[in-house]
Structure 1
């Protein structure tokens, strides 16, 4: 199996060409896996089938990805990068909190749209509390933290004024809201998931309003109670 040399830096010896070939093989395996997941469903797709379709040895497929779960974690990471890139123009030009938030949420759905056909069957696996594919799992922590960081960027680059005690927790709360949007999108059977877009456009002004109201002295006790509850549930 000629492709089982790990892609490494030039300091470790292999040429740039060998590294590029390794990256191409890795991407080929990932692209093939995502196509088969769409065509056959996640549960019915095996690593052997992925290797066969990609034209590589099974050992090579396992060399780059230890399991199907690792393929999905790579998919999570890639879609996260794509979402940030798609939202870039909005984040560059907008200072308004609601505009930035809407841009990031719509960008997430834009990136996920090609995978809608297999999202429902895949969700059955990811929804299992012990599944490593769950967005709340330890295995998904890198993708989850990257997504929370994107919502932190939404907030920090905006002109939003809010309760200072809410500010550190808000990015994670926005990520949780995004997970709710994604769940709705998974089950959305409207043409081109237009109802999901309507959900985003309807929810964002409400979130913006609530964030602004958090500054009111009369609502601060409510904010603190909510944050205390979140802290309790997380720990």
Structure 2
């Protein structure tokens, strides 16, 4: 929606590969190779041995950097988030309207994710499985999820629009959840340049903007508070 390596895995094989600039290059080659093979062969059919062979490194070196295929996908999450964060900087620095900030962030995500569309289509069935460590809602992807929510926190905190204070605190996570709907639509979008996903954003952002704008009105403040209470209970 973040769309999204993690550091808590133990490596089955350790190779004395040097870190530093050369080590970072090796790591990038392994990631690029894995993403290509995932696209070409599918996630399940791609083994760590195949990734190592295609990357022209030993299996031990591949495991030195990534303990599993899951870690390689986590590296993709991290890369996608970093690219999204950079792509959002201009609109977050210049736009003060809530709708403009949200629209810019969502469009930036679709734009930077375009090169990974074929990979996402093949990979999504794994990420959508309940309990799968690659799910955007899993414990393993919590750092990537929090990083993505942080972007939507910038959307809210930098907005000059009037927003109910209680809703303002919960809104970043709610916006991230909304972005997951955009991600799902994008995965299945076969239109040229994902133009249907952009149209979805055109429709969705004004609706969210209206709801947020109405949240501080006396007649709707109680409804907003009930909704916030329900969200907090779901998280507990």
**TM-score (structure 1 length as normaliser):** 0.92
What does residue range 197-208 of structure 1 map to in structure 2 within 5 Å?
197-208=198-209
1:168 is paired with a residue whose SS is: helix
What does residue range 41-56 of structure 1 map to in structure 2 within 5 Å?
41-56=42-57
Q: Is the 8 A contact 1:132 1:140 kept in 2?
A: yes
Q: Which residue of 1 aligns with 2:97?
A: 96
Ranges of 4+ aligned residues in structure 1 off by more than 3 Å: none
Q: Which of structures 1 and 2 has the larger relative contact order (alpha carbons within 8 angstroms, sep 6+)?
A: 2
Q: Which residue of 1 aligns with 2:17?
A: 5
Return the offset for 1:5: 3.3
Q: Does 1:37 align with 2:34?
A: no
Q: Does 1:220 align with 2:232?
A: no
1:23 is paired with a residue whose SS is: helix
Return the offset for 1:118: 2.8
Return the offset for 1:213: 0.3
Q: Which residue of 2 aligns with 1:70?
A: 71
Query: Could you report, residue by residue, the CA deviation over 1:2-28 in whole angstroms, capped at 9, with x for unpaired residues?
Result: 973353xxxxxxxxxxx1111111111
CA–CA distance in 1 between the matches of 2:123 and 2:234? 27
CA–CA distance in 2 between the matches of 1:163 and 1:185? 31
For structure 2, the 5+ residue unaligned runs are 1-12
Q: Which residue of 1 aligns with 2:171?
A: 170
Q: Is the 8 A contact 1:133 1:139 kept in 2?
A: yes
What does residue range 80-119 of structure 1 map to in structure 2 within 5 Å?
80-119=81-120
CA–CA distance in 1 between the matches of 2:208 and 2:40? 37
Equivalent pairs, count: 224
CA–CA distance in 1 between the matches of 2:66 and 2:59? 11
Q: Which residue of 2 aligns with 1:16?
A: none
For structure 1, the 5+ residue unaligned runs are 8-18
1:114 is paired with a residue whose SS is: helix
State the Cα RMSD in Å. Answer: 1.5
Query: Could you report, residue by residue, the CA deviation over 1:71-93 in whole angstroms, capped at 9, with x for unpaired residues?
Result: 11111111111001011111111
CA–CA distance in 2 between the matches of 1:178 and 1:2? 38
Query: Could you report, residue by residue, the CA deviation over 1:25-53 in whole angstroms, capped at 9, with x for unpaired residues?
Result: 11110111111111112121111111111
